[in-house]
Amino acid sequence: DGFGFSVAIDGGTIVVGAFRNDDVPNNSGSVYAFRLTNTYEARTYSADCTAPGTFTYEGRTLHCVELPSGELVDVLEEEGGTQTCQYTDTNSCPAGYDIWVPRSYEHAAAVVDAVEDKFTNLLGVYREENGCGGCVLEAMNSDAYDEWVAEGTNRVPWTSVAGKPWFVRETAYSQPLASYKAGCWLTTAWDGGWQGTTIDGERIGFNFDDFPNQCLYCFTDYLCSRNGAEAFLATVGTYDQVVKLTASDAAAGDNFGQSVAIAGNTIVVGATQESNQGTGSAYVLRTNDGGATYAQVAKLTASDAAT
């Protein structure tokens, strides 16, 4: 059908040409109009994520993931980037981005489902605020950070580049060599994978790299995200097909829909092979009912048309 060969958007309406569609005669062509519906405002921490899906940002794959709450979160794949071993090292995240920091269990789980395993080895937990203070083997993310800390005076937070200690250490751990290298990345490489837990039936555990004097794990494949505390609002919804358009004089081989344009209530459709000689035409269609129907109001040809 060639659906998608030409596309145009204006406001909440998308027009898609399928110039080989043959619902009328063979290769006569059609145009489909879709309208944005079921819209709502979703919170997002990335100005680049305005709708769920997978996109390209500065040559990298950008995943905009919608959580059950409706919040949008972003992760940007960095493959074969600068090797980084601890939070003080440089990385290849583009300007405005840094190593990904999950903000909730739901956030972590949704991102893990959206990307390849190799990108989830490195998580953005960076440094202790006040030295080692009793190293731990396992760390858990907590949205209820203040409540978590209040439960025990021995609980020491870790701080991320997001500025807020999103991650907290869950269990005490005695470092035998007492020479812990602070600042190593949080990693899932300790046991080869993410630790699933049964706490609340939904939490995910992460391993610290508790290796003396050096960071044991370094990474060149990792996820980046905006990691900022500022939230944006994005309009999220679905696009439903509202109408399928064909030329009033459709004929085989016209290629109606090879080019499309839309402005306000008017759609212009190119049919490059229309007419017996294939000179081509442009059709003007207009809606007076908000896009539910379109009527052809003009057919344009060149005054000096030639094959």
Which of residues 230, 254, 281 is at a domain's end? 230
Same domain, 33 and 52: no
For residues 80 and 212, state if they share a domain: yes
Q: What was the pLDDT predicted at 136?
A: 39
Question: Distance of CA 11 to CAs 35, 44, 160, Å?
Answer: 9, 21, 38
Among 75-79, 82-86, 228-232, 244-248, the range with the most confident prediction by mean pLDDT is 75-79
- State the pLDDT at residue 287: 92
Q: Which of 57, 37, 13, 31 is nearest to 256 (CA)?
A: 31
Say whether both 96 and 72 belong to one domain: yes
Residues 147 and 283 in one domain: no
Predicted local confidence at residue 50, as pLDDT: 82
Q: How many domains does the chain have?
A: 2
21 and 116 both lie in a single domain? no
In terms of average pLDDT, the best of 89-93, 195-199, 204-208, 270-274 is 89-93
Residue 170 lies in a domain: yes
Place of tokens 């898609």: 16
User: Rounded to an integer, what distance in angstroms lies between the CA atom of residue 85 and that of residue 71?
Assistant: 30
Domain that holds residue 135: 46-230
Report the C-alpha gap between 71 and 42 in whole angstroms. 5
Same domain for 143 and 91? yes
264 plus 152 within the same structural domain: no
Q: Is residue 306 part of a domain?
A: no
Residue found under tokens 């027009």: 15
Instruction: Assess whether pLDDT exceeds 50 at residue 72.
Output: yes
DSSP annotation string for 283-303: EEEE-SSTTS--EEEEEE--T
Q: How confident is the model at residue 78 (pLDDT cuts 50, 70, 90)?
A: very high
Q: Same domain, yes or no, for 180 and 270? A: no
Same domain, 100 and 202: yes
pLDDT tens-digit readout, 45-66: 677 888 889 999 889 999 999 8
Tell me the per-residue pLDDT of 160-210, one tens digit each, with 9 for 90 and over: 444 444 444 433 333 333 344 445 666 554 443 444 443 344 444 454 444
Domain CATH code at residue 12 = 2.40.128
